[in-house]
Structure formats: C-alpha cells, structure tokens
C-alpha cells in the first residue's frame, strides 16, 4: 500500500485562482521521489497542499493508515526560547518516544551531524548550515513513515551533505518513503527512484529517469537536459 496518495485537481491561495492543477502521484515504502522544477513552478504549493496548509484545495490527500510524517521546510523554523536539546525533548514528548531509547538516538544524531557541542544553545544563533542540520535531526529522531523535505541541500557543506544522504538511505532501507523538492539536479538524478517534473503549476512529466528520457526523446539525456526540454516545450507549446 502507498504511504502517500496525492490527487489534486486544483489548489491555490485565493478563490478561483489556482496555482497548481492536475497533480497526481504516490509515494511507496522505501522510495525516494524527487520533486523538480524552477522557482515559482508550484513545488512549494504542492507540498503545502499535502500538509493541509492551502486554503483553496480541490482534491484528496491520503496517508497510509496510522502513519506519521516529518516535514523539513526550506527555511528552518525554531522556537526562540528553546535550545536544540529542548527542541528534541519537545518532539519526543509530542511523539511519545520512549525516554531511554530517544536519548541514545538523539546523542548519536548530534554526534553524527557535529552539533553535540551546540546542543544546549539556541538554534537561532546557529549558522545557516547548522540550522539545516538541526532541522534534519529533529525530523530523523521520530523515524516517520514519510519524509517531506523541501530543498535540503541549501547551506549544507559537502561533508554534511554526505551524512544526510547516508541518513536517508538508512531510512529508506527501514521502509520510509521520501518526497524531496530540490534544485540540485545532478544529485537528484543519482539518488532518486522517480521524478515529478513540475512547471507553471502542472506536471510536465513523471517517472524513472529512463521513462522521462523516453518521454522527452533524449535516450541518453541527463535529468537537467530532460527537464529543460520539457520546460521549453511548455513555453513554446
């Protein structure tokens, strides 16, 4: 059974002014799906529709029964008065995590992402890269069925990116599904199982790289080349 089924006929921020149209896809256990598109294409609106944050939405979002998800926004969000460790305690309390196991896992993630020395500091004082790593730790700690991740590579140095990719690979093997929006097409091509190419609020293509290559008639094309082929076709009709 799919972890997530998305059927959006129309969605937007004002009545009768849809931003996205006819967005249909699913996420399977252990699958990493890349949501690809230029700025303003409708990626964030699609994610917000899934999260129930769009006021005008005609469609249906179905999560697997009894599943839980983690959302990692493009811009990290923290409580001003809480340290990172207090954020972790808060998440653990909300999710009902078993205390001893949670603390062991929290310490492991803090060491892995090199934030252990900063765990009792306010995340709002961190650098952008540190804030991104903190958000990833907060999402990983609950071990959800589904991750919804918006531009995870922004602010990450190469070492942190390697650690993150290792973390999500472990989560996939555990059976978690991942929907990841990104502009980093070379990395997406390497790690994603399938792709959703969105432009001007509609899906221009979806499938594996081979399926997308066939659709754009570039049998050896990169994801970057295929995406720009679809973009040009959309612009010029």
CA dihedral 184, 189, 194, 196 (to 10 degrees): 40
Give the span between the Cα atoms of 204 and 37, in whole angstroms: 10
194-199 vs 177-181, strand pairing mode: unpaired
pLDDT in tens, 12-61: 999 999 999 999 999 999 999 999 988 889 999 999 999 999 999 999 99
Given this model, what pLDDT does residue 232 score?
64
Asked if residues 199 and 41 have their Cβ atoms less than 8 Å apart, the reply is yes
pLDDT of residue 4: 98
pLDDT in tens, 168-222: 999 999 999 999 999 889 999 999 999 999 999 999 899 999 999 998 889 999 9
How would you classify the pairing of strands 32-36 and 194-199? parallel
Q: What is the DSSP letter of 28?
A: -
Please give the Cα distance from 25 to 130 (Å, whole number).
33
């Amino acid at each position: 059974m799919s972890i997530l089924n998305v059927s959006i006929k129309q969605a937007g921020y004002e009545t009768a002014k849809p931003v996205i149209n006819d967005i249909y896809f699913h996420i399977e256990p252990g699958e990493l799906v890349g949501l690809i598109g230029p700025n303003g294409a409708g990626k964030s609106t699609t994610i917000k529709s899934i999260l129930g944050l769009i006021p005008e939405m005609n469609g249906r979002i179905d999560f697997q029964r009894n599943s839980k998800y983690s959302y990692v926004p493009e811009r990290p969000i923290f409580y001003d008065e809480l340290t990172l460790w207090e954020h972790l305690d808060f998440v653990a309390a909300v999710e009902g995590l078993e205390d001893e196991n949670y603390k062991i896992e929290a310490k492991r993630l803090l060491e892995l992402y090199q934030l252990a020395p900063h765990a009792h500091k306010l995340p709002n004082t961190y650098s952008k890269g540190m804030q991104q790593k903190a958000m990833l730790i907060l999402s990983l700690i609950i071990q959800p069925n589904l991750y919804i991740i918006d531009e995870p590579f922004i602010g990450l140095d190469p070492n942190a990116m390697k650690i993150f990719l290792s973390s999500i690979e472990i989560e996939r093997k555990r059976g978690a599904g991942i929907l990841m929006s990104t502009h980093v097409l070379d990395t997406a091509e390497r790690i994603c199982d399938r792709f959703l190419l969105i432009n001007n609020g509609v899906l221009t293509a979806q499938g594996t790289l081979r399926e997308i290559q066939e659709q754009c008639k570039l049998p050896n094309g990169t994801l970057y080349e295929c995406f720009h082929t679809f973009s040009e076709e959309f612009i010029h009709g």
